[in-house]
Amino acid sequence: MLTLLRHLSSSCCYGGRRSIATVISGNKTSKLVRERLKKEVDNMKMSNVIPSLLVLQVGNREDSNLYISSKMKAAAEVGIDAAHVRLPNTVTQDEVLRTIMSANEDVSVHGLIVQLPLDSINHMDVEMVTNTVSPLKDVDGLSCINAGKLSRGDLNNCFLPCTPNGCMELIRQTGVSVAGKHAVVIGRSKIVGAPMHDLLLWNHATVTTCHSKTHNIPEEVGRADILVVGAGRAEMVRGDWLKEGCVVIDCGINHVPDESKPGGKRVVGDVHYTSAYQRAGFITPVPGGVGPMTVAMLMQNTVLSAQRVLANMAAAGRSL
Amino acid sequence: MLTLLRHLSSSCCYGGRRSIATVISGNKTSKLVRERLKKEVDNMKMSNVIPSLLVLQVGNREDSNLYISSKMKAAAEVGIDAAHVRLPNTVTQDEVLRTIMSANEDVSVHGLIVQLPLDSINHMDVEMVTNTVSPLKDVDGLSCINAGKLSRGDLNNCFLPCTPNGCMELIRQTGVSVAGKHAVVIGRSKIVGAPMHDLLLWNHATVTTCHSKTHNIPEEVGRADILVVGAGRAEMVRGDWLKEGCVVIDCGINHVPDESKPGGKRVVGDVHYTSAYQRAGFITPVPGGVGPMTVAMLMQNTVLSAQRVLANMAAAGRSL
């Protein structure tokens, strides 16, 4: 009987209802981050330094234009001096690399990002383009050097990729401590899954990475105290897979047909929200979860880069 | 009754005895690797290229001398032209960096390693020293750039760290395919655990990394089809933790008191060998398991570096 009661108490709430998750709002959290950054930028003005960001675009993809527009808007709100340079889709790789190197050398640029994907009629080696950005200005955190530092635990000496760093910020909002927890990451992409593993690991979680070759994803998910999903598959994670009370962070952005919506489609995550909401302790919505955090973390990295420059200037001044 | 039989057959062998592991010999496997490399080096002689390795040592630690001696011996056996440069422990960091940069520029050097730990009376920034080695000659695979490439799945465009690469070679010897298996790594060091995770992940295992903050290591270990231990704790993994039939790779080298041995101590791994041997499908011994593979993989990386130089020369020749 005692065993039965224990079972009930672990899977149900008072009154026999299943638990209902607390929603972790990326909209609210990213607003708090932007407000904090605005104060930090204001403080830097006393030192005559305004953080600056250069967004380099190749071509004119409509989705890229939208993303860049939201970055420019956030930068303006925080007080970052942001410039958007658009090269035509006829540009050669050499011209792109020269533009990057010129921005690397420009001391007035603190953060430099290349909007991906590159939209060009010419061949572009994306790895080469990404790695030509100086690691000291790579506020997207995508260069090999920054990835290497993160993956080996040197977190304070690199730029953390924006989406996983935003996920960490959302996890912090829950008050659930990461150290010692079992975390599961679904996906191993360069911008979400792989760096997410590193961040959780070096915040001392025991981390399992799942991917397309994983045999029993539901079983792995069922062991997660903290679950981060960046799989790119609409609603693949079902509520009944989840450990009761876990933290669910959904990085998915998928468009599914929905006749009731204008445009005939709606956006869903990689997690089946309605069922997961009944079982998780905390969950991010889609949209309004991880998405806005990515842009906020880009702003944070840009401010951090300017602060590092300022700290180096101060150190150089002291040693004169 | 059927259930009982199934249980017996999964946990026992014919006659009711527990299974006994096949021992994966690092001595034998490393010998095969060296023999293969010797043939490759012989083939390169027709192109007038002899792979060369420079081992840079700071100070005169006895353990480093022993490790370097085994590297020099393996190089001689394979036909690699190896040089050992020992700088005194009074050397400054700047002098060490200058020596590294000089070797970076020397086209006759294909592989360059700095023996760690640095034994100097002066302050040395180990990260800076390691990262001054050109990533194109970093045959220890310890620079940020090589770590970044490995951690993000760009395995064919970097140098893989020698100990985890040796572990992968031993796993290959078992015939057990890695893709889709559940792998557990204990430890997250820069030279063993962290890159081991990456190698298993990008060979498509589902990987869990455990460490000092993991709450229930025996439970995690019990789920491993493939277990790699680099914890630095003598005999911490017990046989009864293991999943029957799993592959156990033990990277530990620990000295424990043993009055029956000359010197009053003996070497054991991080796995309790006698009990694990009764339960695993495959197991590496200590010594004679991972240890000799590390040196063999250093030789393999050095030959690979020379082969890349040769391929670049051929490509440049074709484009003339």
pLDDT, residue A12, reads 38
| Contact B146/A at CB under 8 A | yes
Residue A281 lies in a domain: yes
pLDDT of A14 strictly over 50: no
Residue whose C-alpha is closest to residue B100's, from B114, B88, B86:
B114
B128 with B169, same domain: the answer is no
Among residues of chain A, what percentage have pLDDT more than 90?
90
pLDDT in tens, B252-303: 999 999 999 999 999 999 999 999 999 999 999 999 999 999 999 999 999 9
Computed over every residue of chain A, the mean pLDDT equals 94
Is residue A243 included in any domain, yes or no? Answer: yes
- The per-residue pLDDT for A16 is 46
Is B198 touching A (CB cutoff 8 A)?
Answer: yes
Whether residues B164 and B136 share a domain: the answer is no
Q: Give yes or no: residues A197 and A273 share one domain.
A: yes
Measured distance CA(A144)–CA(A172) in Å, rounded: 27
Q: Give the residue-averaged pLDDT of B35-51.
A: 96
A211 CB neighbours in chain B (<8 A) are 201, 204, 206
Q: Which residues pair with B86 in a beta bridge?
A: B57
> What percentage of chain A exceeds 70 in pLDDT?
94
ipTM of the prediction: 0.92
Whether A151 contacts chain B with CB within 8 A: yes
Whether residues B53 and B119 share a domain: the answer is yes
The minimal CB distance from A151 to the residues B143, B148, B215 is found for B148
Interface touch A146/B148, C-beta < 8 Å? yes
Q: Is the pLDDT of residue A158 over 80?
A: yes
Q: What is the CATH number of the domain that holds A81?
A: 3.40.50.10860
- Predicted TM-score (pTM) of the model is 0.93
Contact B144 A145 (CB under 8 A): yes
Dihedral over Cα of B270, B273, B278, B281: its sign: positive
> Do B131 and B237 sit in the same domain of this protein?
no
State the smallest CA–CA distance between residue A130 and chain B in angstroms: 13
Q: Structurally, how many domains does chain A consist of?
A: 2
Give residue A96's domain range.
48-140
Do residue A132 and residue A175 come from a single domain? no
User: Chain B within 8 Å of A235 (Cβ-Cβ)?
Assistant: no
What percentage of chain B reaches a pLDDT higher than 90? 90
Does residue B152 contact residue A190 with C-beta atoms inside 8 Å? yes
Report the distance separating Cα B50 and Cα B1, nearest Å.
66
Indicate the residue of B148, B179, B180 with minimum beta-carbon distance to A145. B148
Q: How sure is the predictor about A8, in pLDDT bands with cuts at 50, 70 and 90?
A: very low
Handedness of CA A106, A109, A114, A119 (dihedral sign): negative
Q: Kindly report the backbone phi and psi dihedral angles of residue A267, in degrees, each rounded to the nearest multiple of 5, phi listed first.
A: -95, 130
**Within this chain, do residues B216 and B274 fall inside the same structural domain, yes or no?**
yes
Question: B194–A152: do the CB atoms touch at under 8 Å?
Answer: yes
Catalytic residues of B: 71
**Taking CB atoms and an 8 Å cutoff, what residues of chain B touch A153?**
188, 190, 194
**pLDDT beyond 50 at B12:** no
CB atoms near residue A183 (< 10 Å): 28
The answer to whether A204 and B188 are in contact (CB under 8 A) is: no
Choose, from A71, A137, A149, A181, the residue flagged as catalytic: A71
Q: Tell me, what CATH number does B246's domain have?
A: 3.40.50.720
- B68, B103: one domain: yes
Same-domain pairing of A246 and A277 = yes
**Which position has the higher pLDDT, A63 or A18?**
A63
Interchain contact B134–A (C-beta under 8 A): no
Contact B231, A231 (CB under 8 A): no
Question: A201 and B209: CB-CB below 8 Å?
Answer: yes
- Tell me, yes or no, if B211 comes closer than 8 A to chain A by beta carbon: yes
pLDDT at residue A131 is higher than 50: yes
Q: Is residue A112 part of a domain?
A: yes
Token digits of residue B62 = 């006895």
Asked whether B198 and B204 are in contact (CB, 8 A), the reply is no
Question: For residue range A183-213, what is the model confidence (pLDDT) as tens digits?
Answer: 999 999 999 999 999 999 999 999 999 999 9
* Rounded CA separation A149/B287 (Å): 32
CA pair distance B224, A47, nearest whole angstrom: 55
Residue B320: band (very low, low, confident or very high) from pLDDT cuts 50, 70, 90: low
- B183, closest residue in chain A (CA to CA): A208
* Range B139-157 average pLDDT: 97
Measured between its terminal Cα atoms, the distance across chain B in Å is 76
CA distance A233 to A227: 15
B174–chain A Cβ distance below 8 A for any pair: no
Chain centre distance of CA A196: 9
pLDDT of residue A5: 36
Q: Is B18 inside any structural domain?
A: no
* Residue B155 within any structural domain of the chain: no
Residues of B in contact with A152 (CB under 8 A): 144, 147, 151, 190, 194
Q: How confident is the model at residue A317 (pLDDT cuts 50, 70, 90)?
A: confident
Taking CA–CA distances from B220, the nearest residue in chain A reads A206
**Which two tokens mark B35?**
């023999």
Which residue, of B141, B172, B188, is where some domain finishes? B141
Find where tokens 């050669």 sit: A92
A-chain residues within 8 Å CB-CB of B180?
213-215
Q: Are residues A105 and A166 located together in one domain of the fold?
A: no
Q: Is B161 in CB contact (< 8 Å) with chain A?
A: no
Look at the block and give the residue holding tokens 């808007």: A73
Q: B50 to chain A nearest CA, in Å?
A: 30
What are the pLDDT digits (tens) for B18-29? 578 999 999 999
What is the full DSSP assignment across chain A? -HHHHHHHHHH--GGGPPP-PEE--HHHHHHHHHHHHHHHHHHHHTTT---EEEEEEES--HHHHHHHHHHHHHHHHHT-EEEEEEE-TT--HHHHHHHHHHHHH-TT--EEEE-SS---SS---HHHHHHHS-TTT-TT--SHHHHHHHHTT-GGGSPPPHHHHHHHHHHHHHT---TT-EEEEE---TTTHHHHHHHHHHTT-EEEEE-TT-S-HHHHHTT-SEEEE----TT-B-GGGSPTT-EEEE---EEEE-TTSGGGEEEE-SB-HHHHHTT-SEE--SSSSHHHHHHHHHHHHHHHHHHHHHHHHHHHHHT-
The verdict on a CB contact (< 8 Å) between A151 and B149 is no
Q: Which two tokens stand for residue B172?
A: 């290959």
pLDDT of residue B151: 98
* pLDDT tops 80 at residue B177: yes
Alpha-carbon distance of B68 to B102, in angstroms, equals: 21
Q: Inform me whether the pLDDT recorded for B314 exceeds 70.
A: yes
Closest Cβ–Cβ partner in A149, A194, A207 for B144: A149
- My answer on whether B169 and B279 are in the same domain is yes
Does residue B31 sit within a domain?
no
A-B interface: how many C-beta pairs under 8 angstroms? 94
Average pLDDT, chain B: 94
For residue B289, report the phi and psi dihedrals to the nearest 5 degrees.
-110, -100
Band (B5; pLDDT cuts 50, 70, 90): very low
Strands A247-250 and A282-283: parallel
Q: How confident is the model at residue A129 (pLDDT cuts 50, 70, 90)?
A: very high
User: Is the residue at B152 inside a domain?
Assistant: no
Q: Are residues B123 and B177 in the same domain?
A: no
| pLDDT per position as a tens digit, A85-108 | 999 999 999 999 999 999 999 999
Q: Is A154 on the interface with B (CB under 8 A)?
A: yes
- Please say if the pLDDT value at position A140 is more than 50: yes
Residue A145 within a domain: no
